[in-house]
Structures are given as C-alpha cells and as structure tokens.
C-alpha cells in the first residue's frame, strides 16, 4: 500500500509527499532494527543472569569443599605432630590411645577440594563470554579457574607422597586397628596396651619416623586452599551483587507476598 502511494505521488510530482513517505519507510526500518536489538539485548541479559546463577551455585559448592579440605589439612597436621611427640614420649599414647591409632592411619593423607567450573567451561565453549558486561569479573573468574587447573598438575606429587607414607606405615597397625580407623567416624576406642604395642612397632620403623615431618608439614596445602577460599568467596559475592542474581533460593521457603 505504501509503495502504491509513493508511485502515485511520483506520477503527480508531489515531492513533498514522496519525502514524507521516504521518511516513514526509513523510520520504520530503524524502529524495527531497534526493536530487534532490544530483544537481543534482553535475551543476552537473561542468559547472563542464568549463567551467573549457575556459576554462583558452583562456587557455593566449591567453597564448602575448600572449607572441608582446610579442616582436614589442619587435622592431619595435628596428627603428624602428635606422632612426632609420641616417638619420644609414650605417655602421649597412653593418654590418648585412640588418637594415636587414628593418627598412624590418617596423618599422611589429605583431601583435595573439588573446584567446580562446569558452567564457566560451557560459556567458553559456546563463545558466550561476550554477553557479560562486567569484563573484569569474567577475567577474574578465568584467572581463578586457571590457577586451580595449573595447581592440579601437582596432584601426582601428592599422590606419590601419600603412597610413600602408606608403604612406610605398613605393618604398624594390625588389620583390626586399620579396619577400626577406616570405619570410625571420630576417634576410635582403642585399649592402651594395643596402642602401646603399635607404638613399639612404629619405633622399629625408622623410615616411618623420618617421614613424619613431611606428613606434618601442610603449610603449602593450607596456604593454597585458604587463597582459593578467599578468591572463590569474593567472586561469589560479586556475582550475587549482580542485579537479578541475588541470594540462592532456600528450598521450601514461602513465597514473598
């Protein structure tokens, strides 16, 4: 219909009307482009928010895992120091026989945190990094996950240290004691005589005793985990402050009026 009007105006040489029609056509095209851009921007904001919600949820789980690893690291450090004290003082074992047995079983092991970055990996793979407005936040997220990945390459060394500890500790605990340690939630109930007998077997293993300072040294692990905890918490809080993301919903919570 508009084209017919333009043709009629040209035939009658009504150039003012032609100009008005031209302006209407151009304006219509520009408005259509603007609406398309608004819709695309709206879709990007929705995708950005959904990604942030997923990343924040994964950071929550990672923070929980890091906290467990820090607690475990402190616990195993204390077990190692406990065993070092027990070498020269049998009263340490007599006062807490269950802890001694638990320490022999667990002092050389650790718990690496599970850092989850599946959502961020998905964003990179799909090429969606460009939808995020806070480029500094995206950069810091990338740096965090890269640091975790780089440090994971040293897990083989931790595995070797734990394997060496197992080899040197073999035979100190009886089968019953080792089973008790694995099945006990806390400190097992061990007769004093049995713990002292295990200590005597430990004293016959100088290769195990010389390894105890290595088992007790958790400085690097603790520093790494505490650094990750600080970074992950700060990133999670920055994401939570993004409009539309907010705090996680509590299951079963009543809806706001």
CA 189 vs. chain centroid, Å, equals: 35
User: At residue 256, does pLDDT exceed 50?
Assistant: no
| Side-chain-side CA neighbours of residue 237 (13 Å) | 6
What element of type H or E holds 219? helix 219-240
CA pair distance 204, 257, nearest whole angstrom = 71
pLDDT band at 76 (very low <50, low <70, confident <90, very high): very high
Predicted local confidence at residue 131, as pLDDT: 85
Residue in 78, 39, 53 with CA at minimum distance from that of residue 215: 78
Predicted local confidence at residue 4, as pLDDT: 61
CA pair distance 216, 223, nearest whole angstrom = 14
Predicted local confidence at residue 17, as pLDDT: 58
96 close to 191: Cβ distance less than 8 angstroms: no
Tell whether pTM > 0.85: no
Which string of b and e fits 149-187 if b means at least 16 CB within 10 Å? eeeeeeeeeeeebeeebeebbeebbeeebbebbeeeeee
Q: Which residues contact 142 (CB under 8 A, 6 or more apart)?
A: 120
Taking residue 119's Cβ as centre, other Cβ atoms within 10 Å add up to: 18
CA pair distance 160, 210, nearest whole angstrom = 16
Q: Which residues contact 25 (CB under 8 A, 6 or more apart)?
A: 2
User: At residue 14, does pLDDT exceed 60?
Assistant: no
User: At residue 257, does pLDDT exceed 70?
Assistant: no
Structure tokens at 239: 């994401």
pLDDT band at 47 (very low <50, low <70, confident <90, very high): confident
The mean of the pLDDT values for the chain is: 85
Predicted local confidence at residue 186, as pLDDT: 87
Please classify residue 232 by burial: count the beta carbons closer than 10 Å to its beta carbon, then call 0-12 exposed, 13-18 middle and 19+ buried: buried
Count how many residues are written for the chain.
257
112 close to 69: Cβ distance less than 8 angstroms: yes
Structure tokens at 96: 């807490």
Structure tokens at 93: 């074992």
Taking residue 24's Cβ as centre, other Cβ atoms within 10 Å add up to: 13
Q: Is the dihedral of CA 89, 95, 98, 103 positive or negative?
A: negative
**Cα 109–154–171 angle (5° rounding)?**
30
């Amino acid at each position: 219909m508009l084209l017919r009007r333009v043709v009629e105006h040209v035939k009658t040489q009504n150039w003012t009307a032609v100009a008005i029609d031209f302006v209407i056509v151009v304006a219509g095209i520009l408005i259509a482009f603007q609406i398309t851009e608004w819709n695309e921007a709206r879709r990007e904001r929705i995708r950005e928010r959904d990604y942030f919600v997923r990343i924040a949820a994964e950071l929550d789980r990672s923070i929980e895992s890091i906290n467990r690893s820090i607690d475990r690291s402190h616990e195993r450090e204390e077990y190692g120091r406990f065993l070092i004290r027990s070498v020269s003082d049998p009263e340490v074992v007599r006062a807490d026989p269950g802890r001694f047995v638990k320490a022999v079983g667990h002092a050389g092991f650790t718990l690496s945190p599970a850092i989850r970055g599946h959502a961020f990996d998905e964003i990179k793979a799909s090429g969606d990094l460009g939808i995020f407005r806070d480029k500094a936040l995206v950069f810091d997220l990338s740096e965090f996950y890269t640091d975790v990945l780089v440090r994971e390459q040293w897990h083989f060394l931790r595995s070797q240290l734990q394997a060496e500890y197992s080899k040197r500790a073999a035979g100190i605990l009886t089968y019953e004691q080792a089973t008790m340690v694995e099945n006990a939630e806390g400190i097992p109930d061990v007769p004093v005589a049995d713990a002292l007998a295990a200590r005597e077997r430990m004293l016959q293993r100088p290769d195990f005793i010389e390894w105890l300072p290595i088992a007790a040294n958790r400085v690097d692990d603790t520093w790494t985990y505490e650094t990750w905890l600080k970074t992950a918490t700060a990133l999670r809080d920055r994401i939570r402050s993004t409009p539309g993301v907010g705090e996680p919903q509590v299951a079963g919570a009543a809806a706001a009026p």
